[in-house]
Structure 1
């Protein structure tokens, strides 16, 4: 599940462009999720922490944050944000940190990098295992509606100086595939084409809810990407659930 290696130099800005600004994301997670449902929380485990930009903001807000990611190159970037001592190289479906946390956070639909339902089940089990009593798990998904919509007509371009990044998505059997094309400027009219493939998947919201209950969670709230009511046409959905 190692992803984004060639894309890493552009990752931050593209992720922010697809989702929401970092400040808005952190504000929502802190005020509307953590303060609302676990106001005494002090410790956070961020799974699939990426470059550590979200973790950095929570540390600045006074939380004790540990970041876990499977991608070594991501963690090297994250070291600059939150320090090596706060980071762990690991698989979100199979890890044992030997301690528990008040909050487990999996942001920017990172769970969608898990392609099989068994992997989603394993992640829920890991999150439950690493939460304190009454601790909360917060994660968000790209919905099947979102993926299906993107594959019908989607090509997004980003410019970085003289470089251009193009994102396209295709539906495959049992998953969805991002094709990332990087046109890296060399000199004059000379560009190098670099490609990278990233696979993602999602499942019906009702199936996720049922599995969370089986895994030992109580669902506190589901929130649409725009922080409204979840509907059949929601594109990005947050789940806030409590260990029961």
Structure 2
């Protein structure tokens, strides 16, 4: 499948995702905790939807992603909108750039794609090393509740003329993990036929206490933990947890 086709599926399925909510979160936390400038590293930037919004709000944006296909689409969007993005293909757990940033973000539960504890720790360490002194690190993760009560052993479906899918969720191999088996049916505009595409996505999350311990060990001060795009602390049925941290 070409990158245009893959990115089309991704953007189509993510069209209702609250990118503006992440932008508002960054703006709010940056003001509340006095961010060190407006230079930002957007880790796991995907096809660039949040990166472009950040750039449109006056941030100087660098984006990294593991997928070359995603980055090609992000660059194409930036060129079409005459927006400057610096984009690099990198693994977040092996971050290696030649500069520091006042802000670093990892959103859209991208951190949950790291299946090993050491990869999460290495990511936190890499973020710390690429932040300016007193710089802010913001990220979100799935809650334990979402993995165990919403995803586990569930099937989700979606149908429209362009893209339909069947999404089955199964327990992963390690605690607090889930495997997403996705089957897409993508319409070909020329022939009207549907192409079948199958993908397997694995995610793992961790208790809040475990994440805060790792962050503290790597030198971060956890400033705030909130839930579900609100300013409220997490509850037992919160689904998405937001962390705001400062490099000490």
Fold shared by both chains (TM-score > 0.5)? yes
Larger mean Cα displacement after TM superposition, 149-158 or 58-67: 149-158
Matched, 1:210 2:209: no
- Pairwise mapping of residues 1-244 of structure 1 onto structure 2 (< 5 A)? 7-17=6-16, 20-30=17-27, 32-82=28-78, 86-152=86-152, 154-174=154-174, 175-185=177-187, 191-227=194-230, 228-244=232-248
The answer as to whether partners of 2:9 and 2:163 remain within 8 angstroms in 1 is no
Q: Against the structure 1 CA distance between its residues 152 and 106, is the aligned structure 2 distance closer, same or farther, given a 3 Å change threshold?
A: closer
Any unmatched runs of 5+ in structure 2?
Answer: none
The answer as to whether partners of 1:44 and 1:65 remain within 8 angstroms in 2 is yes
| Alpha-carbon separation, structure 2, partners of 1:226 and 1:46 | 18
| Alpha-carbon separation, structure 2, partners of 1:129 and 1:61 | 26
Deviation, structure 1 residue 8: 3.2
Any unmatched runs of 5+ in structure 1?
Answer: none
Deviation, structure 1 residue 127: 0.4
* Number of positions where the alignment pairs a residue of Structure 1 with one of Structure 2: 237
The answer as to whether partners of 1:46 and 1:68 remain within 8 angstroms in 2 is yes
The answer as to whether partners of 1:58 and 1:65 remain within 8 angstroms in 2 is yes
Deviation, structure 1 residue 85: 5.8
| Alpha-carbon separation, structure 2, partners of 1:25 and 1:94 | 24
Q: Against the structure 1 CA distance between its residues 149 and 132, is the aligned structure 2 distance closer, same or farther, given a 3 Å change threshold?
A: same
**TM-score w.r.t. length of structure 1:** 0.89
